[in-house]
Structure 1
């Protein structure tokens, strides 16, 4: 079921992702050098904390609303009602999360010390509401949304390179990194470029409650996921020095950049599989098998490439350009994260496989509760491991990477076990339906 439209979406997403990588390739080493390991660690600590506000604002709509829009996208009225219901719900959640984070910023000593960084980081919460990426994904037009983001990021990149000159510019770096999604949202709301703005639909309070109730399992899953992703950085910031946070953040940044190569496949295939799960179950299973082969293969390649070849870039860069060259200084800083990177790299492969078994199989076939339970256990497991391994350790960043790896392995095992059962049940349903059709034709 990989038709021309899906192939076009995937190709366009990878083209846009490549342009995004050019921006990231410049931004990441530049900020690491200009802000220093400590400043880079503070910025990433703030980003990780603010992600809780983003999670509350998103409330799982990036999964539930995408699926709902994908299944009704041929009905403009129904799609518009979903859009406004979700948008108003996110606005209310944004206000609540911003108020909570505002109180925490001036209540917690570790936050109050860098209050400016935390306050301006809340721009990320507003950006998640202003730019409805989930709506583009439901219509399988992510290449257009990504195009807007690339345009906005490229526009901000020049300002970032020109204005950020040292650790004293950390607040400015935060603002400029949050602005691209805000700018993309303003452009879309003013122009409707890429996908037309839905017609206005009045939403009742009861519909907002229903939307929140329907998305609750997805929100629970997102919160649980944060316990072994963003919360790892938060816990590390509580238990270790900023330098250790910076080393871990540098290694994790490379891992998540590599995972971005798998992102376009996931973004393109998830709404298609969700649609097929309703109209063509056999086609959905076939696409899931292809996703496992393709995403798993790319994940393996990225894991090996990151673990084996990135450490070679340091001596090569120094030999070619000298130790004072900006990129060389970045790789010299990353050299301290090399052992962390070795432990972290397999997360790319495990993450790619878990998304196939979890998001692209369990969720589309109505296994939200099991999906959520696994992630809750995984989140608690990561917090327990972090509390046990990190405090007092001189290699706190390394222990954090080992904790994430153990948790990811658990998730893959749990998802694979249930996904195999679900696929077997779906095949049995298909066989029974085929048998009824054949019996009806024979009679």
Structure 2
């Protein structure tokens, strides 16, 4: 690897290693909650956390892409970045407040509100987008790791019985706020540079909202798609089919989470490279090679992995696990050519249309494959969705 390539990968690689530790901390937290809350209490906690994640997606409002891209473009204009920081923060605060209020108006949601409010507050105040744009990848990842470890300790100390499900949900939604406290204590220089609040006008919020709205769909479409896929699998197959699929998907999602984090860490550099006319094609082969290595155990030893992760009763998930090894590579390709290609050049609409087309193809494939092949058929639809999305991404890339 050349010195220039080493510089491109060193920061993202370190940040991704920290993200892997964060995923491990989250996994241990879930194991602890399963044992202390029991099935009923854990179900309540999972529902509240899922709603909290939805609130986080809305509150982020696409700024993890659009805000990062704009801040990279204003790398040499400190005043513009300062105003951007507070415009984005104010816009996120407005969106988060509206989302929580709308949730509160729905009947039967009182138990969900504390976790939702914690999620909205954390998404508003912890500026992942800005730290990423300013090259503080390791600081961002280390702070979030510290936040998740702090919540793991809090869960271990405070959550004891099923009645603690509400508290457990809130603690699951607090890592971003704990991470903010860490970076404040450490006096992170990039945040100190924009710490002085600026008056934000309605026009600033409107301008920020117009910037973020197109990118909101980039995170919203996968979230909605995941819920749709699980609902269809349960409807077309059975709860047992969905359980077998989910057992294999837990491993795939963990590995894919690492490559998503790596892609996000590489995103600012890719934006800058495209702006300079250098492109980002050289990143794709390395990313795909790493994905292939990560997926290899899933393809070669699915039975052993399922036995360790899920235990007895999930043997039928081995076939799905093997297919999901291919899905790890195909999803990494979507990250390489979509996130680091289209999104780095501002082609948000083309990327979202590719994802939507992939979801439509996946829904059709589920109807064909799940009744006949169960969880393994459902796993193949992940590859189908990625293949359709990649075909459209490639078509746009060739035209541009």
TM-score range, shorter chain: 0.7 to 0.9
1:341-371 Cα distance to aligned partner (Å, 9 max, x none): 3343322111111112112111222322222
The alignment status of 1:86 with 2:83, answered yes or no, reads no
Where does residue 395 of structure 2 map in the other structure? Answer: 417
Q: What is the TM-score of this pair, normalised by structure 1?
A: 0.77
The alignment status of 1:232 with 2:212, answered yes or no, reads no
Where does residue 266 of structure 2 map in the other structure? Answer: 269
Where does residue 139 of structure 2 map in the other structure? Answer: 144
Give the whole-Å Cα distance in 2 for the aligned partners of 1:128 and 1:212: 15
* Higher CA-based Rg: 1
Give the whole-Å Cα distance in 1 for the aligned partners of 2:45 and 2:273: 42
64-73 or 412-421, which deviates more? 412-421
Deviation at 1:175, TM superposition (A): 2.3
Structural RMSD (CA): 3.4
144-153 or 365-374, which deviates more? 365-374
Where does residue 186 of structure 1 map in the other structure? Answer: 181
Q: For 1:2-401, what aligned pairs fall within 5 Å after superposition?
A: 2=4, 5-32=7-34, 43-104=45-106, 106=108, 116=111, 120-164=115-159, 169-189=164-184, 192-193=187-188, 195-197=190-192, 198=194, 199-233=196-230, 247-278=244-275, 280-281=276-277, 283=278, 285=279, 288-309=280-301, 311-313=303-305, 330-332=310-312, 335=315, 337-382=317-362, 400-401=378-379
Give the whole-Å Cα distance in 2 for the aligned partners of 1:239 and 1:125: 35
The alignment status of 1:408 with 2:386, answered yes or no, reads yes
Give the whole-Å Cα distance in 2 for the aligned partners of 1:99 and 1:382: 34
Please state whether the residue corresponding to 2:200 is helix, strand or coil. Answer: coil
Taking a change above 3 Å as real, the CA distance of residues 158 and 343 of structure 1, as seen in their structure-2 partners, is same
Deviation at 1:102, TM superposition (A): 2.8
| Highest RCO, 1 vs 2 (Cα 8 Å, sep ≥ 6) | 1
Give the whole-Å Cα distance in 2 for the aligned partners of 1:17 and 1:105: 37
Q: Work out whether residues 105 and 118 of structure 1, in 8 Å CA contact, stay in contact via their aligned partners in 2.
A: no
Q: Work out whether residues 52 and 115 of structure 2, in 8 Å CA contact, stay in contact via their aligned partners in 1.
A: no
Q: Work out whether residues 240 and 396 of structure 1, in 8 Å CA contact, stay in contact via their aligned partners in 2.
A: yes
Give the whole-Å Cα distance in 1 for the aligned partners of 2:118 and 2:240: 25
Please state whether the residue corresponding to 2:301 is helix, strand or coil. Answer: helix
Structure 1: unaligned runs, 5 residues or longer: 107-111, 318-326, 423-443
Taking a change above 3 Å as real, the CA distance of residues 51 and 58 of structure 1, as seen in their structure-2 partners, is same
Structure 2: unaligned runs, 5 residues or longer: none
Taking a change above 3 Å as real, the CA distance of residues 78 and 361 of structure 1, as seen in their structure-2 partners, is same
Number of matched pairs: 396
Taking a change above 3 Å as real, the CA distance of residues 306 and 43 of structure 1, as seen in their structure-2 partners, is farther
Q: Work out whether residues 160 and 176 of structure 1, in 8 Å CA contact, stay in contact via their aligned partners in 2.
A: yes
231-240 or 263-272, which deviates more? 231-240
